[in-house]
Chain A
Amino acid sequence: MSENTAGVEIARPSRGSIWNDRSARAVFYQALLIAAVVGAAYYLVSNTLDNLSEREIRTGFGFLDQEAGFFIGETVIPFDAADSYLRAFFVGLLNTLRVASIGIVFASIIGVVVGIARLSRNWLIAKMATVYVETVRNVPLLLQLFFWYSLITGALPAGQEALSPLPGIFLNKSGLAYAVPRYDLLHPYLIVAFAIGCIGAWLYRRWARARQEEAGEQRSIVLPVLALVLALPLAVFVLGGAPLALDMPEWQGFRYAGGDEITPEFMALLFGLTIYTAGFIAEIVRSGLLAVDWGQTEAALALGLRRGRVLRLVVLPQALRVIIPPITSQYLNITKNSSLAVAIGYPDLVSVTNTSLNQTGQAIECIAILMAVYLTISLAISTFMNWYNRLAALVEH
């Protein structure tokens, strides 16, 4: 039964069997497909579990509580061989996030610079950028990682013959050891002062912009911002007694210990990932810039803006709409490509999972954890980038 617009009931003619109704058929087919998928998944899982128990292979996630028994070369949080496998996975995850996040930042910076350089009117700069992009995009990443790793471990001096450009910095085959300030009670206050300075600088910039809109007065914001951001922490530092104690790296028979260090594995992975992905990001940026109508640049030049300002204020904001979706996949690629770290000895998540897999023999559980973690990281990155994309999108009416 249905109603027409006047609210009077009209009887519909009978539709015959339910098979002839399109929506009923659609529901039926979808239910069938869901049943098939669920059935296949159930069959795979139950068959696997049956086979495993028949061959007396241990299953289950109980191994996560057991003592790991191995050390990890570099860790963000403290890790000992007596800690559990779960903590080992967490350490590997932090290592992966560390290299992926720093890689994303540097790759974006280098990619944008190289992308703009390819469009430069200077022939040499444009050609060099082209050569860089073409080389880097066409050589497999694993080979590039091996190249960087061999370069770093082969070319740097060994042991005590380390390069020491500044006192407290030592560069040798074992990595870059550098002095860090020893922890003092003043440090939290310094951080708070820096944060207050940043907020103050941001507020000042807003006020200066508002003044420009109202009264056309252009004020230089560079000096006041620098003053706010640097002067306040500096004042706190001096008032707190200027603690300058450093943890210096010292030679201890095999390597420089003390202070902090960056290992050659991390350096090679970071260089390799950054330079590889920057080549792709450069092409994406270039395509975004070329996508902005030439008329925009002409109009901006006609208004008397310098080329730098044209790029920064007119072209780049419009190019962002084209750039952001492909860059999302490049960011995801950096995160997933960091799993190649296992080939050059950096203890990322895949490396730690491999070791655990071998020691416990539980391949399926370990790989499942690995896949779940990478899926979560990738979904988080793409969610964030999609939100940013919506911010940068033009609102069309």
Chain B
Amino acid sequence: MHAWRIIAAAGAIAMLAMTAQAGTLDDVRAKGFVQCGVNTGLAGFAIADSQGGWTGLDVDYCKAIAAAVLGDGDKVKYTPLSAQQRFTALQSGEIDVLSRNTTWTLTRDASLGLVFAGVTYFDGQGFMVPKSLGIASAYELDGAEVCVQTGTTTELNLADFFRSQGMSFKPVVYESLAESKVGFFNGRCQVYTTDASGLASIRAADAPNPDDYVILPEIISKEPLGPVVRRGDEQWFTIVKWVVYATIEAEEKGVTAANVDDTRANTTDPVVQRLLGTAGEMGALQGLDNDWAFNIIKSVGNYGEIFDRNVGPNTLLRLERGINALWTEGGLMYAMPAR
């Protein structure tokens, strides 16, 4: 008589456990912060300073998500993740969103139980060599030794490029980013390869003398970097996707962190009114407050400001907008209409 009640209760709990997987939005609201997976230390994208505060492009998108969902861009906790741990951490629920310069590929979209929620930076893979070798092009690298980090699309693109050109090379594969940088700057290998933005960051921040190194002009792959969330949680996926679009739309409409208060009070443009919440129900439809986009822009600014602050021409990385410009200026940044 007693036993079947216990069995029934256990069965009910088991079924509840299976359905509790969805609802990252509710979890985030309950705990009061967003748990964000970021890089262990890549200048311009995610790097911790000596007081433990994080800065970077990926970090700014974590803050944007927190601002949209919780109203405050500071309600984020950062989990530094290596290239190996990043997907397992997201799959297991340890983090809510992965914002870690991760390339959007078919394998990752289809077979990991994860989905990409947009592109925050269109990048490509390149090579860095010491100037003393006198090499001007990636096609002169036959027989070179190349330092590369394990478990990245970098490794695969490297193999593909050399195979397609009929050239040979020797990979020296390190587990950690730090070790791979040390190996290259010690002279163990003659070439370093990663995304072009990563090369700029490493040359500026980690090279003993940045002028001794040159980044070769060839870009050998497409590396669209963006935030990743778990599959099966459509609401959270939609929210993160539209956080990215909101920043791009804000830049297109000229809304900045400085003028967002003014703009919300005084604008007559219906598109901006819908975006900033004075018209329409854009926030409520997603399950958020209507000033979701207002909070994002107030907290981190629009896409152009995020770019300039972290990786732009006035920072250590000195990167141009290039293909990351708005579509109206010849680039690839295009926000879906928020209506």
Tell me which of A150, A153, A254, A363 has the highest count of chain B C-beta atoms within 10 A of its own C-beta: A254
Contact (Cβ within 8 A) B156 A343: no
- Name which of B62-70, B82-90, B240-248 contacts chain A: B82-90
Shortest distance from the beta carbon of A83 to any chain B beta carbon, whole Å: 11
Number of A-B residue pairs having CB atoms within 8 Å of each other in the complex: 122
Residue A264, interface by CB 8 Å: yes
Interchain CB contact (< 8 A) of B151 among A55, A69, A347, A358:
A358
Residue B222, interface by CB 8 Å: no
Tell me the A135-193 residues at the B interface (CB within 8 Å): 150, 153-154, 158, 173-174
Residue A244, interface by CB 8 Å: no
Tell me the B157-181 residues at the A interface (CB within 8 Å): 158-160, 162-163, 169-176, 179
Give Cα A254–Cα B190 distance, bound, in whole angstroms.
7
Number of interface residues of B (CB under 8 A): 46
Contact (Cβ within 8 A) A343 B175: yes
Contact (Cβ within 8 A) A358 B179: no
Residue B232, interface by CB 8 Å: yes
| B284 neighbours in A (Cβ, 8 Å) | none
Contact (Cβ within 8 A) B108 A345: no
Residue A359, interface by CB 8 Å: yes
Tell me the B62-98 residues at the A interface (CB within 8 Å): 83-84, 87-88, 91
Contact (Cβ within 8 A) A153 B156: no
Chain B interface mostly: mixed
Contact (Cβ within 8 A) A358 B84: yes
| A370 neighbours in B (Cβ, 8 Å) | none
Contact (Cβ within 8 A) B172 A56: no
Contact (Cβ within 8 A) A69 B159: yes
Contact with A along B283-298 (1 / 0, CB 8 A): 0000000000000000
Specify the chain A residue showing the minimal Cβ separation from B142: A253
Give Cα A354–Cα B84 distance, bound, in whole angstroms.
7
Given A158-B187, A345-B174, does the pair A54, B18 have CB atoms closer than 8 Å?
A: yes
Residue A361, interface by CB 8 Å: yes
CB-defined A-B contacts under 8 Å, sample of 29: A52-B113, A54-B21, A55-B91, A69-B159, A71-B159, A71-B169, A71-B171, A72-B173, A73-B172, A150-B182, A150-B186, A153-B188, A253-B143, A254-B143, A254-B145, A255-B143, A255-B144, A255-B170, A343-B179, A345-B174, A354-B151, A355-B173, A358-B83, A358-B87, A358-B151, A359-B107, A359-B155, A361-B107, A361-B112
Instruction: Name A residues whose Cβ lies closer than 8 Å to a Cβ of B.
Output: 50, 52, 54-58, 69-74, 81-82, 150, 153-154, 158, 173-174, 252-255, 257, 264-265, 342-345, 347, 351, 354-355, 357-361, 363
Q: Which 6 A-B pairs have the closest CB atoms?
A: A358-B151, A55-B113, A57-B113, A58-B111, A361-B112, A81-B159
